Amino acid sequence: MADWKGCAARNYKIGRPGQFQPEAVVIHIMDGTLSGTDSWFNDTRAKVSAHYGVGKAGQVHQYVKEADTAFHAGSADRPRWPLLKPRVNPNFYTIGIEHEGLAGEPWPWPLPQLQASAKLVREIMDRWGIPVVPERIVPHHLIRAGKTCPGVNFNRAAYLTALTTAIAPAVTLAPLASAFDVTVIDPTTTRSWPQSESAPVAVKTKGQTVRVAQIADGETLMGNANWYGVGPNEFIWAGATSRPRLS
Ligand SMILES: [Zn+2]
């Protein structure tokens, strides 16, 4: 549960323009402290804000409602985020999360902070129906190249792992020495994590071939816990394929 800290009226906008709603989460670093950020967003001179701030001890502060527009991602500069909409302010369709710490700090962030952040992002994505895929979790510098935000050592892959383990700590993943192909025998939806309750990624039709690059010990369905990793953050239950078990 986030601790509401509010924000000065001129540092954000009520609502989101037109039909925009959150489609992605932008990850930031405060380059400062949580308490400093609490004050700054409530200072009318700031003209910036974020929806949330996550402290090093795992505290979660909220400044702006998710349905409102926080001023966090700014204008795009040589963006490398594939889902960026041309000529639309990215603040209109993103949620911004600040993290206590400095841009030059070593990775990883303290575990309580990483876990609190991952849990928060996961909840936001569930609330807004945002697919849990890497493209929807955006380090700020992919929108604004001049920034080092969320830090020079920020490890996106590790962050995504924390995000997925936040929902299913029991799952074990193993890479394969060589990939193999399987045929889909039952129409099925691939998932962002080897669990039927995780976010849907794509629909696979009967007869379709998928390439397996990773195996996972995930949720047991009909006595079978085998899941196959068929893409980045994309898993198919092995029972729906021509090779329901590895051995
Ligand atoms: Zn930033």
Report how far ligand 1's centroid is from the alpha carbon of 243 (Å): 45
Distance 142 CA to ligand 1 centre (A): 10
Instruction: Give a yes or no: residue 246 inside a domain.
Output: no
| Residues 126 and 222 grouped into a single domain | no
Each residue's pLDDT tens digit, 131-184: 888 899 999 999 999 999 999 999 888 888 778 766 544 466 677 888 999 999
CATH number at residue 71: 3.40.80.10
CA of 143 relative to ligand 1 center, distance in Å: 9
Number of domains in the chain: 2
Residues 74 and 152 in one domain: yes
Domain co-membership, 161 together with 176: no
Q: What's the Rg (C-alpha) of the chain?
A: 20
Residues 69 and 134 in one domain: yes
- Let me know whether 63 and 114 are in one domain: yes
Mark whether 78 and 9 lie in a shared domain: yes
Q: Secondary structure of 79-107 in the HEC alphabet?
A: CCCCCCCCCCCHHHHEEEEEECECCCCCC
Q: Would 215 be classed as within a structural domain?
A: yes
Q: What is the DSSP letter of 101?
A: B
Tens-digit pLDDT string for the chain (247 aa):
799 999 999 999 999 999 899 999 999 999 999 999 999 999 999 999 999 999 999 999 999 999 999 999 988 999 999 999 999 999 999 999 999 999 999 888 887 898 889 989 988 998 998 988 889 999 999 999 999 999 999 988 888 877 876 654 446 667 788 899 999 999 999 987 787 766 788 999 999 999 998 888 888 899 999 999 998 778 999 999 999 988 6
pLDDT at residue number 218? 84
Distance 29 CA to ligand 1 centre (A): 6
Q: Please say which residue of 165, 200, 216 terminates a domain.
A: 165
119 lies in the same domain as 10: yes
CATH of the domain at 223: 2.30.30
CA of 48 from ligand 1 middle (Å) equals 10
Could you tell me the distance, in angstroms and rounded to a whole number, from the CA of residue 43 to the centre of ligand 1?
18
Query: For strand 224-231 and strand 209-221, is the pairing parallel, antiparallel, or unpaired?
Result: antiparallel
Q: Could you list the residue range(s) of the whole structural domain that residue 226 is in?
A: 172-240
| Amino acid of residue 97 | I
Same domain, 177 and 131: no
pLDDT at position 101 is: 97
Q: Using CA atoms, how far apart are residues 83 and 134, in angstroms rounded to an integer?
A: 11
pLDDT of res. 67: 97
Domain identity same for 225 and 106? no
End-to-end CA distance of the chain: 44
What's the 1 CA to ligand 1 centre distance in angstroms?
23
- Which of 165, 188, 213 is where one domain is finished? 165
Same domain membership, residue 205 and residue 134: no
Cα of 37 to ligand 1 centre, how many Å? 13
pTM: 0.70
Query: Within a domain: residue 245?
Result: no
- Give the distance from CA 40 to its chain's centroid: 25
Dump pLDDT digits (tens) for 171-188: 666 778 889 999 999 999
Residue 172's pLDDT is what?
67
Cα of 164 vs centre of ligand 1, distance in Å, is 23
Is 247 within the bounds of a domain?
Answer: no
Please give the distance, rounded to the nearest whole angstrom, from the Cα atom of residue 100 to the centre of ligand 1: 12
> What's the CA gap between 62 and 73, in Å, rounded?
17
Residue 17 lies in a domain: yes
Residues 108 and 225 in one domain: no
Q: Give the distance (Å) from ligand 1 centre to CA of residue 161.
A: 21
What is d(CA 112, CA 198) in angstroms, rounded to the nearest whole number? 23
Q: Tell how far the Cα of 8 is from the centroid of ligand 1, in angstroms.
A: 19
- Residue type, position 134, single letter: P
pLDDT, position 32: 97
- How far does the centroid of ligand 1 lie from the alpha carbon of residue 64, in Å? 16
Note the pLDDT of residue 126.
Answer: 85
Whether residue 200 is contained in a domain is answered as: yes
Q: How far is the CA of 28 from the centre of ligand 1 (A)?
A: 4
Last residue of a domain, one of 117, 147, 165: 165
Q: Is residue 122 part of a domain?
A: yes
Ligand 1 ion local residues (Cβ < 5 A)? 28, 140, 149
53 and 144 within one domain: yes
